[in-house]
Amino acid sequence: MTKQYEFHNRGLPYLLVLPQMIIIFVFFFWPAFQALIQSLYIQDAFGLSLIFVGLENYQKLFQDPLYLDSILLSFKFAIAVAFTAMVIALFLAVQANKKIVGRTIYTTMLVWPYAVATLIAGVLWMFLFNPTVGIVSWVLKQMGYDWNFLVKADQAFFLVTLASSWKQISYNFVFFIAGLQNVPTSLIEAAAIDGGGPFTRFWRIVFPLLSPTTFYLLIMNLVYAFFETFPIIHQVTSGGPNQATNILVYKVYKDGVINLDLGTSAAESVVLMLIVVGLSVLQFRFLERKVEY
């Protein structure tokens, strides 16, 4: 028998969730609604002229090859960041989960980068790889490699992916290690008795049991790469060279804040919003069903 609590006052629960609802309304629904409206207009920065254009801003976006490139690039970037950050974090978590000396220190150190502000992470990596004064660039130069991410598109993409992943590894690590600790030892022991080596044990037992964590992290990492990597892009490459690292969220910023082209920027943010809504729907549908194993 579970004890049932009843609220005799019908209004109380609503009152209790009200503050949260107000916050969500003011900071999420209202701006989202505004963006939706603005995306149907073109207007000057001061809002002195306002012309209704229907879906023209969207039409313009999807006819612009540069924008289509940016969508493709954002997905490429998000997948690269999520993959890199998750694979490395999982590897480190598995190692840290073993009975080794100094495990707590090791774990603590690995969580540290998460406390670094994204912007600072950007500055850090920029200095390491700066073609003039960077220590890594210097080493690469000694090895005869022509490192200049200010001109070379692939190198710039590699660098922002690396910097963004580094920041996210800690976050993934925490979840993976918690997930690993939830894997029942009895299952692993049973598998060992049946003759499964460490490799088989990991792929047949541990990894499937981790899949809810992995899936959750996948979505979080994708969302992170789509949105929160902004300071890194801003600091390291400003979207360049040419458009090599000009991901969607950076475009919204440039068109809206720097260029004051509000209609275009609003349409861009609505597209971004749809992508994230899509990701969230995916997450809920799959997590509800608990990823199968």
Partner 1 sequence: MKKILMVTVAMATAVMAFSQTTIEFWHAMGGKNGEVTEKIVSLFNQSQNDYKVVPVFKGSYPDTMNAGIAAFRAGNAPAILQVYEVGTATMMAAKGAIKPVYQLMQEQNEPFDPKAYIPTITGYYSTTKGEMLSMPFNSSTAVMYYNKDAFKKAGLDPNSPPKTWPEFFTVARKLKAAGYDAGFTTNWISWIQLENFSAWHNLPFGTKANGFDGLDTELVFNGPVQVKHFENLYQASKEGVFKYGGRENKANSLFTSGAVPLHFESIGGYGAMKATCKFDFGVAMLPYYPEVKGAPQNSIIGGASLWVMNQKDQRAYKAVAKFFSFLSKPEIQAMWHQETGYLPITKAAYELTKSQGYYKDNPGPEIAIKELLNKDPTENTLGLRFGFMPQIRTIEDEQWESILDGKVTPKQGLDEMVRLGNIKLREFERISK
- DSSP track, 202-239: IIIIIHHHHHHHHHHHHHHHHHIIIIITHHHHHHHTTT
17 binds partner 1 (CB under 8 A): no
**Cβ at position 136, least distance to partner 1 in Å:** 16
Q: Which of 212, 243, 279, 282 binds partner 1 (CB under 8 A)?
A: 243
What is the nearest approach in angstroms of partner 1 to the Cβ of residue 241?
4
Residue whose C-alpha is closest to residue 171's, from 259, 66, 85, 57? 85
Site string for partner 1, 266-285 (x = CB under 8 A): --------------------
Least distance between partner 1 and beta carbon 240 (Å): 6
Of 48-56, 105-113, 161-169, 198-206, the window that binds partner 1 (rule: CB under 8 A) is 48-56
Which range touches partner 1 (CB under 8 A), out of 17-25, 30-38, 69-77, 239-247?
Answer: 239-247
CA within 13 Å, CB half, 265: 17
CA 192 vs CA 65, 178, 196: distances in Å? 55, 22, 5
Q: Tell me which stretch binds partner 1 (CB under 8 A): 37-45, 95-103, 175-183, 268-276.
A: 37-45
Which residues have a Cβ under 8 Å from the Cβ of 97 and sit 6 or more positions away? Answer: 177, 180, 181
Between 137 and 221, CB nearer to partner 1: 137
How far is it, in rounded angstroms, from Cα 193 to Cα 188?
9
Q: x/- string (CB under 8 A) for partner 1, residues 82-121?
A: ----------------------------------------
What is the spatial distance between Cα 51 and Cα 263, in angstroms, rounded to a whole number? 10
Minimum Å gap between C-beta 50 and partner 1 is 9
Residue 254 interacts with partner 1 (CB under 8 A): yes or no: yes
Report 122-161 residues binding partner 1 (CB under 8 A).
130-133, 148, 150-153
Please, what is the minimum distance in Å from the beta carbon of residue 246 to partner 1?
8
Q: Contact, 230 vs 250, CB < 8 A?
A: yes
43 binds partner 1 (CB under 8 A): yes
Q: For partner 1, which residue of 23, 44, 109, 274 counts as binding (CB under 8 A)?
A: 44
Judged by CB under 8 A, does residue 63 bind partner 1? Answer: no
Q: How far is the CB of 47 from partner 1 (least distance, A)?
A: 5
51 forms beta bridges with 42
Smallest distance from the beta carbon of 110 to partner 1, in angstroms?
Answer: 32
| C-alpha radius of gyration, the chain, whole number | 24
Q: Which helix (H) or strand (E) holds 51?
A: strand 50-52
Task: Answer yes or no whether residue 47 interacts with partner 1 by CB under 8 A.
Answer: yes
- The gap between the terminal CA atoms of the chain, to the nearest Å, is 31
Three-class secondary structure of residue 76 per DSSP: helix
Mention every residue, 6+ apart, whose C-beta is less than 8 A from residue 285: none
- C-alpha 184/C-alpha 193 separation (Å) is 15
Residues that bind partner 1 (CB under 8 A): 42-49, 51, 130-133, 148, 150-153, 238-243, 254-255, 257-261, 263
